[in-house]
Amino acid sequence: MLEITSLREVMMHGVELFQLLLEIISIACVVIGLGKTLWLAARVRDHQPGFPHIRLCFGSWLILALEFQLAADILATTVAPSKEELIRLAIIAVIRTFLNYFLGKELEAQSEHQQERLAESPPAR
């Protein structure tokens, strides 16, 4: 019985560490995405329609961060699967999936629109 209890404690600590790692990666995605987006915004010239490209850059990083956050929440629930925690996870998963889906759709549409504009524009000389 003692071995099972100690094994459970080790597992709980491992899950907590991995959850923390996933949350740190999520934060890093937002910070890196912000840095790359600001760098891209600084490089865009006034005559270029760069705003859609800037949104695509930052939106992609946000989608990635949401994925890591959802994974961290799932891990947190595996350790303490009380009814309240499961309900909380379900609500968070629905909200994050909803955000992720519609952000992805918006970025996809923006990317297609940007590709169409590039195809229509005359080649630079």
Query: DSSP assignment, residue 124?
Result: P
pLDDT at residue 33 tops 90:
yes
Closest by CA to 29, choosing from 63, 72, 73, 4, is 63
Give the C-alpha separation, 105 to 94, whole Å.
16
Residue 47 in tokens? 């005559």
Tell me what the mean pLDDT of segment 28-50 comes to. Answer: 84
The chain-wide mean pLDDT, for the chain, equals 83
- Contact between 60 and 66 under an 8 Å Cβ cutoff? The reply is no
| Contacts (Cβ under 8 Å, ≥6 apart) of 104 | 63
Q: What is the pTM of this model?
A: 0.72
Confidence at 19, pLDDT banded by 50, 70, 90: very high
Q: What is the pLDDT of residues 108-117, one digit of tens each?
A: 887 787 777 7
Of 39 and 4, the structure prediction assigns the larger pLDDT to 39
Asked if residue 28 lies in contact with residue 61, where contact means CB atoms within 8 angstroms, the answer is no
Question: What is the sign, positive or negative, of the torsion defined by CA atoms of 75, 79, 81, 85?
Answer: negative
Specify the pLDDT at position 47: 55
Distance between CA atoms of 30 and 66, rounded to whole angstroms?
9
